[in-house]
Amino acid sequence: MADAVETVPTKGPLIYRQSIFTRVTHWVWAICLFFLLLSGLQIFNAHPSLYIGQQSGFEFDNAILELYAVNTDDGPRGRTRLFGQEFDTTGVLGMSGSADRPAFRGFPAALTIPSFQDLATGRVVHFFFAWLFVLTMFIWFLASFINGHIRRDIVLGPKDIKGIPKDIKDHATLKFHHGRSYGPLQKLSYFGVFFILFPLIILTGLTMSPGMDSAWPWLLDVFGGRQTARTIHFGVMVLLVSFFIIHIIMVLAAGPINELRSMITGWYRASPGTTTNEGEQK
C-alpha cells in the first residue's frame, strides 16, 4: 500500500493582526499628512528659501535652499539653488505653468492647498490638521502602550537586530514572509517614524511659533533658532514623503489586497505554516 502523500496548504491562516486603534489612526494619519504636506508647501511658497541659524538677513548668506525665477535671453526661467549649486528647474520649481501664463512661485499650484497663493488659508488648513495629527498620535501611543503594540511590533529586540541583514536580503529579492509579527526592517522603519520623525516634525513646528517660543524658549536653543527649525521641519517632511513612497511600493510588492485588508478589517493572511493564536491581537 502506497504511503499517504501529505498535502501542504497553499494558503496560510487568517490572523487578527491590527487592532482598531492601529487601523483608525493609520488612516487618520494618512489624511492629515496629505493636507499637512500640501498646505505646508503653500506656506513655504510665501518665502521659498531655507536657512541655517537664528535668522535670515541681507548682509550675509546662510541659505541652503532657494527657489526663484530669473530673466534670461530665452525668457524667464525657474532656478533652484541647493548648497550653493544652481539648477534649472523651469516648469517645476521656481517657475511653473504654461509658457504664455507662467507662475512664479516655489512649488507649482498642483502641489499646494489652496492651489492659488493664499497664505492665510494655507495656515488655517495646516494648523487644523497639525493638531488633529498630534491628538491622533497621543491616542495611538496610549492605546499601543496598553495593548503591547509598541513593545511587540515597534521596539527592536536583540533577535530583530540580528535578523536585519537577512531581512534586507529578503526584501531586495522580494521574498516576503507574512507572519504574525513585523519583520526587523518594518520595526526599524516604524520606530524611526514614530519615535524620531513624528516628534521632530511636531517640535520644530512648535519652534516656529512665536507664542510657543515665549512659553518654551528652550525650543530655540534645542533647534538652533527658528530658521534652523524651519529647515529641519522641511527636511523631515522630505523624509516622511520618501517613507510614504517606499511604504506604498512595499505594499504593492507584498500583496496589496492582503495588506489593505489588514489595515481595514484587521485580518491578515499569513504565510503557510504560521501558527494561529485566537487570543492574541496586534
pLDDT digits (tens, 9 = 90+) for 66-106: 999 999 888 899 999 999 899 999 999 999 987 788 889 99
Nearest alpha-carbon partner for 20 in 267, 247, 225, 187? 267
Domain boundaries, the chain: 14-48+118-269, 49-106
| Torsional class of 224: left (φ above 0), alpha (ψ -120 to 50), beta (otherwise) | left
> What residues form DSSP beta bridges with 267?
16
Compute and round to an integer the Cα radius of gyration of the chain.
23
pLDDT for position 131? 96
CATH superfamily of 14-48+118-269: Transmembrane di-heme cytochromes, Chain C (1.20.950.20)
pLDDT for position 4? 47
What residue ranges of the chain have pLDDT lower than 70? Answer: 1-10, 54-60, 179-180, 273-282
pLDDT for position 259? 86
CB-based contact 166:69 (threshold 8 Å): no
Residue 236 phi/psi, 5-degree rounding, is -65, -35
- Does an H or E element contain 36, and which? helix 20-45
Instruction: Report the C-alpha gap between 195 and 137 in whole angstroms.
Output: 11
CB-based contact 71:78 (threshold 8 Å): no
Instruction: Report the C-alpha gap between 265 and 15 in whole angstroms.
Output: 11
